[in-house]
Amino acid sequence: MTINTPNGFTLDNTGKRIVVDPVCRIEGHMRCEVNVDDQGVIRNAVSTGTMWRGLEVILKGRDPRDAWAFTERICGVCTGTHALTSVRAVEDALGITIPDNANSIRNIMQLNLQIHDHIVHFYHLHALDWVNPVNALKADPKATSELQQMVGPNHPLSSPGYFRDVQNRLKKFVESGQLGLFKNGYWDNPAYLLPPEADLMATTHYLEALDLQKEVVKIHTIFGGKNPHPNWLVGGVPCPINVDGVGAVGAINMERLNYVSRIIDQCTEFVANVYIPDVIAIGGFYKGWLYGGGLSGKSVLAYGDIPENANDFSADQLHLPRGAIINGNLNEVHDVDPRDPEQIQEFVDHSWYTYGEPGKGLHPWDGVTEPKYELGPNAKGTRTNIEELDEAAKYSWIKAPRWKGNAMEVGPLARYVVGYAKGHEDIKNQVDGLLRALDVPVNALFSTLGRTAARALEAEYCTRLQKHFFDKMMTNIKNGDSNTANVAKWDPSTWPKEAKGVGMTEAPRGALGHWVKIKDGRIENYQCVVPTTWNGSPRDSAGNIGAFEASLMNTPMARPEEPVEILRTLHSFDPCLACSTH
Amino acid sequence: MSDATIHTPNPQAPQPMEAARLTGDATAEDIESIRKRTSVYVYEAPVRLWHWINAAAILVLIVTGYFIGSPPPTMMIGEAYQQFVFGYIRFAHFAAAQVLTVGFFFRIYWAFVGNHHAKQMFYLPIFNRRWWSEVFFELRWYLFLEKEPKKYVGHNPLAQTAMFFFITLGLNFMLATGWALYAEGAGQGSLPDMAMGWLLALVGNSQRLHTLHHLGMWAIVVFMIIHIYAAIREDIMSRQSIVSTMISGHRTFKDDRVE
Amino acid sequence: MSQIETFYDVMRRQGITRRSFMKYCSLTAAALGLGPAYVPKIAEAMETKPRTPVIWVHGLECTCCSESFIRSAHPLAKDVVLSMISLDYDDTLMAAAGHQAEAALMDTIEKYKGNYILAVEGNPPLNEDGMYCIVGGKPFVEQLKMAAEHAKAIISWGACASYGCVQAASPNPTRATPVHKVILDKPIIKVPGCPPIAEVMTGVITYMLTFDRLPELDRQGRPLMFYSQRIHDKCYRRPHFDAGQFVEHWDDENARKGYCLYKMGCKGPTTYNACSTVRWNDGVSFPIQSGHGCIGCSEDGFWDQGGFYNRLTTIKQFGIEENADQIGMASAGVVAAGVAVHAAVSALKRAQKKSQDKVED
Ligand code: HEM
Ligand code: HEM
Ligand code: NFV
Ligand code: SF4
Ligand code: SF4
Ligand code: F3S
Ligand SMILES: [Mg+2]
């Protein structure tokens, strides 16, 4: 049967159905089903979130000052971003402002997360879609060294001996017969295109990035006490600053600041000398593979983040851009109002929830989370042994958020499209530079690789912003301001009887919003609309497919029984399922 | 009222303190004693000593325990190493806890070797129908439904019930939870840990144990209020001595009428 | 762990001849795109003692335990995965997906029956027939039980697997259930924390590999070496606690001097973990050092012990929501008021009786 969706896709579920469950190398549990035609091209795609924990239900009746800790546990991969969103929502509701230093520290932590998450995503969750570590055994270490010096001349780890050592270690590993994480990979699939030297270089960086990422997060450890799941605070940040007084060793002091500064440099170097060059090098070999654009050229959404000044969230004061683009019209960037009941709404007609009334969309302040698990009449298998889902009915634990009725893509690519369309200077320069380096047109951005490249560019931009806010904080401290928290409204007796607020951030995977209603000092309703809720959303009542589903459409598969291409495109979003369903 | 003072023994009284005898509160010797001397020796010296030491220890435990839960404002006497304010509060708590513990074990020992009344706190004669009817009688007395109270040698049945729940069970609860908390600081393998560490594992979370211990304190406070009130009230309104009994050990009676 | 059979042992046990074993090795080499020169090497490796296989399954969770694990500095996570264990199944990191991933799991279970370690992150929900967490179209709890059946030992990573954690917080809508309440017949090592410290995680694993035995556990099944003392017992702010010097408000003078966070709700006195000694991320800091109290993240039910900023637990029972002092003072107040009324009535009655007696006289 063929269906034309309102958002412009033609679905045909007559071909062979292929099921991928679990979708691995993502956070959380996901299932994907596609139909391929007899050419092996995907003609229908079904994305399913296969977990739900009920955080929105659990948050009811709690102290709003504690909400950050609960929501932070929505996800350990984008750790901290929900916490930041949560404290912003509560501060918005209660009219709490934060000191400048707190703004700088929060920004540094949020940027640090972006950088960390992007690096770990690219090397540890995504690289194996493009890079074949087994093939790396055939590489010539000397040629690899030359390749390294060509693409990343400033990276010190580049000698032939270094690559030989890594290769030997890899050899020993493969020869052990215990392939561990690489077991049953698709290593002889023709979709892998890199020469052995590029494979060896990238595999080496897989290991280097694994060592590096644990350094990157130490900024969270210094300001938040630990990572994953650093600590946050309504009204500011919990770490006091004391650079020259009695007992300064118990606070953020010069030693700590130097530590942060060093890590900022370390991040900057790795991204500039390894990450960006790798993306360009690998992208160069795959630039013919331009599938997976999905919604990115049509409908994208960003809330914006990284306010230059404390408490000022106006769009022109945000370093990461805000705006919505629909119907592929890049000439018009719409403003986004999270308080407007008509703009952001969530639908559950194809999700395992109920509002009691079909076809309805709810703004998050009025949001309802009531689970209802049931399979459609055409599903195959049983309730507890699903063979094939029925996408005409309910089929996912993810809700379907829509902006003015449109399914939207969010994430680094969405941010970069919005930024590019708005003429954001840094973003424009970066994008143009990349397109030139790869010698591809702007349209190439709207693809799986475009998503992966935007993420790398964003990591680079974030390293610069991280430095900017570090310097800003140092100037502020120098000028005698070391405040980090505002406690004027800490006590619930100072709060209004009823209040509602919204907190917005740009999480690594895209636009993130928390909506809170507070009554008598307790949470009355709490709703999260999360990046992967947008991207991974099932169909809505009008039949619009979500970003994951759209991106898989019309992709040819080299071997339909081996889901390399599906993984590639899904991974380019960096799906986070624990986030999406929460 | 008859002219005879109660200071003259009344050997003719057919069966003095019928109720107390039937509930097991008055022994044959007690009855004999009252025929001869108009008073009964109830609380032996060790019990009285224990009572007052115990009361003092509990008072200290309540005050210090409250502060452990909600510390006083920060005091700036000197650098941390020179100052031990909170440490002393906790020390006082633990010292009083030791006294309480030793005292309670002693009191249990005395229940075996002491007189008949030394045992009364530790059990409830729930199979004694007469005892139950006396419980209801006392209840009615406290509800102003009885004109005149009865005479008892040891505790009246209602007091006995309160003692059993708040002291025998209540203090045990405080000792158990207290020592389980203490075991955390003393460390695994220490004596308190070997004795009480299992309780923490049972409760599952140290904070829950703190809360239980803390709630226990308030139960003891409630007991104290009632206990002291009842002691003074009965001293005035009942037909027997109360407060002085816990000082001298002797129960005297204000009249020699039988019930 | 010494009894781990080699791959060759297993094949021989299943009646496979040396010849077909060698054939298998050359097929493996071919499948990996390696030349015939690799065949003897692969054969040799398969005949010698293998790295201990680890199956790492994920239930309801936030994956932060995995994230923590890869932060390990000593040993480095890459060394653990490349040289110490064989991480044969871990849906968060493995290359394969779908059927190929499930095949990798079955293969390891088959081949190393009774000899692999099962690491569990997250927990199974039991409501809705387990379908709040689905893997391969089926409830996660089935995968967990299947993988547990032949495991040598189970490690429960983090607060989720050990106690239930955030999804099990009241009202626990999915009935998220810790591993030891589902798997009753296997040794289970709980490594709680939300997440646990990276070096504690790798420390537990390397202990098992190095000393060839399970670590000694406390009464609640946690390794004594990391969980036998509270944060508070080794907290560097302890002298301020004993002195009675507390942070009274966020960012006050006392906070800047690093005083004790007890009044800000620090749960260090009730939390067993290694944070104040091992510290986090290669020893850089830990929550208290960075100014926020411990929230008790390695304790059973730490989400439901009242607000994180209250020293005293909020008690939610019969609809009341107060702490022990509020409940206690209220009851004491009621009792005291009752006593006062009772005393007044008693005095009145007594006065009445006296005047009556007088009249009778
Ligand atoms: C009538 C008897 C007792 C009362 C009223 C009492 C009261 C209290 C109170 C209110 C607390 C504070 C609880 C909190 O909220 O954290 C406390 C703590 C404590 N009590 Fe007791 N307690 C009693 C007996 C004992 C005994 C027999 C011990 C045994 C050693 C003990 C040991 C402790 C310990 C170790 C703490 C925790 C101290 C800390 O966390 O620093 N208590 N007590
Ligand atoms: C923490 C405070 C107190 C506690 C825990 C306490 C506990 C007890 C206990 C357990 C007994 C029974 C003794 C036994 O049978 O061995 C008792 C009896 C008694 N207490 Fe207290 N007591 C306290 C304070 C006081 C005070 C302040 C008074 C005086 C006003 C008092 C007066 C008495 C009297 C008169 C008796 C004897 C009752 C009778 O004759 O039946 N108590 N108390
Ligand atoms: N989707 C998502 Fe997150 C992110 N980035 C959060 O908001 O990953 Ni877990
Ligand atoms: S224990 Fe905490 S950190 Fe670990 S998966 Fe669960 S929620 Fe995440
Ligand atoms: S900061 Fe917390 S753990 Fe440290 S001494 Fe104070 S109460 Fe104990
Ligand atoms: S919150 Fe957790 S990380 Fe350590 S200091 Fe407390 S156990
Ligand atoms: Mg939601």
- Name, in order, each residue with C-beta under 8 angstroms of A496's C-beta and a sequence gap of 6 or more: A94
Rg of chain B (C-alpha set): 22
A164: left (phi over 0), alpha (psi -120 to 50) or beta: alpha
How many interface pairs between A and C have CB atoms less than 8 angstroms apart?
A: 348
Ligand 1 binding pocket (C-beta < 6 A) is: B 58, 61-62, 65-66, 68-69, 90, 93-94, 97, 100-101, 174-175, 178-179, 181-182, 210, 213-214, 217, 220; C 269, 312
Contacts of C241 in chain B (CB under 8 A): 86
Of C2 and C307, which is predicted with more confidence? C307
Contacts of C325 in chain B (CB under 8 A): 66, 69-70, 214, 218
∠C175-C180-C182 over CA atoms, to 5°?
A: 55
For B41-119, CATH number out of 3.90.1300.10, 2.60.120.380, 1.20.950.20, 3.30.479.10 equals: 1.20.950.20
Contact assessment for residue A100 and residue A108, using Cβ atoms and an 8 Å cutoff: no
Closest to A573 in 3D by CA, of A544, A543, A536 = A536
Residues forming a β-bridge with A506: A511
Count the helices and strands in chain B (H runs, E runs).
Answer: 10, 2
How many interface pairs between B and C have CB atoms less than 8 angstroms apart?
A: 139
**How far away is chain C from the Cα of B26, in angstroms, using its nearest Cα?**
27
- At residue B2, the pLDDT reads 45
C335 vs B66: CB contact, 8 Å cut-off?
Answer: no
Provide the whole-model pTM.
Answer: 0.94
Strands (DSSP E) found in C39-129? 52-58, 85-90, 116-121
Task: Among A509, A548, A571, A580, say which to mutate for ligand 3: greatest number of ligand atoms within 8 Å of CB.
Answer: A509
**How much of chain B is helix, strand and coil, in % rounded to 5?**
65, 5, 30
Distance A257 CA to ligand 5 centre (A): 24
* Phi, psi at B37, each rounded to 5°: -120, -5
- At residue B8, the pLDDT reads 60
> Which residue of chain C comes nearest to B208, CA vs CA?
C305
Residue C2 clears pLDDT 50, i.e. is over it: no
Which atom of ligand 3 is least distant from the CA of A82? 7
Strands (DSSP E) found in C158-229? 188-191
Chain C adjacent subunits, 3+ CB pairs under 8 A:
A, B
Residue A50 clears pLDDT 80, i.e. is over it: yes
C271 vs B206: CB contact, 8 Å cut-off?
Answer: yes
Q: Is the CB of A507 under 6 A from ligand 3?
A: yes
> Which residue of chain A comes nearest to C80, CA vs CA?
A180
Residue A291 clears pLDDT 80, i.e. is over it: yes
What percent of chain A has a predicted confidence (pLDDT) above 70?
100
- At residue B1, the pLDDT reads 40
> Which residue of chain C comes nearest to A62, CA vs CA?
C307
Tell me the per-residue pLDDT of C169-221, one tens digit each, with 9 for 90 and over. Answer: 999 999 999 999 999 999 999 999 999 999 999 999 999 999 989 999 999 99
Tell me the pLDDT of chain C averaged across its residues. Answer: 92
Is C231-311 CATH 4.10.480.10? Answer: yes
A212-234 mean pLDDT: 98
Distance C253 CA to ligand 6 centre (A): 24
C140 vs A29: CB contact, 8 Å cut-off?
Answer: yes
Tell me the pLDDT of chain A averaged across its residues. Answer: 97
Contact assessment for residue B123 and residue B154, using Cβ atoms and an 8 Å cutoff: no
∠A347-A348-A352 over CA atoms, to 5°?
A: 160
Chain A adjacent subunits, 3+ CB pairs under 8 A:
C
Contacts of C61 in chain A (CB under 8 A): 28, 76, 578
Q: Which of A90, A181, A528 to mutate to test the interface with C (most CBs of C within 10 A)?
A: A181
Q: Is the CB of A512 under 6 A from ligand 3?
A: yes
C339 → closest Cβ in B70, B185, B226: B226
Determine whether B145 is exposed, middle or buried from the number of CB atoms within 10 Å of its CB (0-12, 13-18, 19+). exposed
C44-52 mean pLDDT: 79
Closest to C314 in 3D by CA, of C301, C324, C329 = C324
Task: Among C166, C199, C270, C275, say which to mutate for ligand 6: greatest number of ligand atoms within 8 Å of CB.
Answer: C275
Distance C289 CA to ligand 5 centre (A): 10
Element housing B63 (H / E): helix B45-69
Residue A12, CA atoms < 13 Å, CB-side half-sphere = 12
The answer to whether residue B239 neighbours chain C at the CB level (below 8 Å) is: no
C313 → closest Cβ in B85, B207, B236: B207
C33-41 mean pLDDT: 76
Element housing A305 (H / E): strand A300-307
Determine whether B4 is exposed, middle or buried from the number of CB atoms within 10 Å of its CB (0-12, 13-18, 19+). exposed
Paired tokens of C259: 């005083």
Nearest ligand to the CA atom of A345? 7
C263 → closest Cβ in B71, B142, B206: B71
Tell me the per-residue pLDDT of C111-167, one tens digit each, with 9 for 90 and over. Answer: 999 999 999 999 999 999 999 999 999 999 999 999 999 999 999 999 999 999 999
Tell me the per-residue pLDDT of A414-440, one tens digit each, with 9 for 90 and over. Answer: 999 999 999 999 999 999 999 999 999
C270 vs B188: CB contact, 8 Å cut-off?
Answer: no
A511: left (phi over 0), alpha (psi -120 to 50) or beta: beta
The residue type of C221 is G
CATH number at C51-227: 3.40.50.700
> Which residue of chain C comes nearest to A18, CA vs CA?
C98
Residue A92 clears pLDDT 60, i.e. is over it: yes
Residue C248 clears pLDDT 50, i.e. is over it: yes
> Rounded CA gap, A403 and A119, in Å?
30
Contact assessment for residue A531 and residue A552, using Cβ atoms and an 8 Å cutoff: no
B222 → closest Cβ in C248, C270, C335: C335
Same fold: B41-119 with B123-241: yes
∠B170-C315-B95 over CA atoms, to 5°?
A: 40
The residue extents of the domains of chain C are 51-227, 231-311, 331-360
Low-confidence residues of chain B: pLDDT under 50: 1-3
Nearest ligand to the CA atom of C156? 4
Tell me the per-residue pLDDT of A134-151, one tens digit each, with 9 for 90 and over. Answer: 999 999 999 999 999 999
Of B24 and A269, which is predicted with more confidence? A269
Nearest ligand to the CA atom of B114? 2
Contact assessment for residue A548 and residue A407, using Cβ atoms and an 8 Å cutoff: no
∠C96-A176-C118 over CA atoms, to 5°?
A: 55
Which ipTM value was assigned to this complex?
0.94
Tell me the per-residue pLDDT of C264-286, one tens digit each, with 9 for 90 and over. Answer: 999 999 999 999 999 999 999 99
A225 vs C288: CB contact, 8 Å cut-off?
Answer: yes
- At residue A85, the pLDDT reads 98
Peptide bond into A307 cis (omega under 30): no
C335 vs B226: CB contact, 8 Å cut-off?
Answer: yes
CATH number at B123-241: 1.20.950.20
B205 vs C301: CB contact, 8 Å cut-off?
Answer: yes
Nearest ligand to the CA atom of B245? 2
The residue extents of the domains of chain B are 41-119, 123-241
∠A381-A387-A388 over CA atoms, to 5°?
A: 105
Contacts of C229 in chain B (CB under 8 A): 187
- At residue B6, the pLDDT reads 55
C299 vs B144: CB contact, 8 Å cut-off?
Answer: no
**pLDDT confidence of A532, banded at 50, 70, 90?**
very high
Distance C65 CA to ligand 5 centre (A): 25
Contacts of B64 in chain C (CB under 8 A): none
Distance A448 CA to ligand 3 centre (A): 19
> Which residue of chain B comes nearest to C246, CA vs CA?
B74
Ligand 5 binding pocket (C-beta < 6 A) is: C 231-232, 235, 237-238, 241, 260-262, 266, 268-269, 288, 293-294
Residues forming a β-bridge with A382: A385
> Rounded CA gap, C78 and C69, in Å?
10
DSSP conformational letter for B165: I
Contact assessment for residue A79 and residue A189, using Cβ atoms and an 8 Å cutoff: no
Residues forming a β-bridge with B240: B253
